[in-house]
Amino acid sequence: MELCASLRNRLLEEGTSFGFETVASREDKLEFVRKAKEKRYYIDFIFVTAGTFEKCYERIQKRVGLDGHDVPKDKVCKIREDDEYHMGLSSIVGPCRMFGIIRGMGSF
């Protein structure tokens, strides 16, 4: 993950257009979006939800099975229920040129 963060920061400093995905479970990702806006990037933020806590956790476990990173089950539950987390996401809306929410119902 440090390699990805380093690459994102380098692209940001160079003024290069790019995209990245995040589960937005860490404050540093939300802070990065704010930093990009300060550098006059156009921010398009698309929030994709798995629909339910169970489906979200199932997708995380599939990712882990493919050598991806894990998110502890208790943190997933906290994210789904935590008003503070949702307020953090809503604070991103202001800097965004476009903000969308896609509610996933099946596997994707």
Q: Which of 37, 34, 28 is nearest to 6 (CA)?
A: 28
At 45, which helix (H) or strand (E)? strand 44-49
Asked whether 53 and 3 are in contact (CB, 8 A), the reply is no
Helix, strand, coil proportions of the chain in percent (round to 5)?
Answer: 55, 10, 35
Find all residues with CB under 8 Å of 3, minimum gap 6, and list them. none
Distance CA 52, CA 69 (A): 20
- Whole-model pTM above 0.75? no
Spans in the chain with pLDDT lower than 50:
108
pLDDT per position as a tens digit, 5-20 = 899 999 999 999 999 8
What does the pLDDT read at residue 86? 57
Asked whether 45 and 33 are in contact (CB, 8 A), the reply is yes
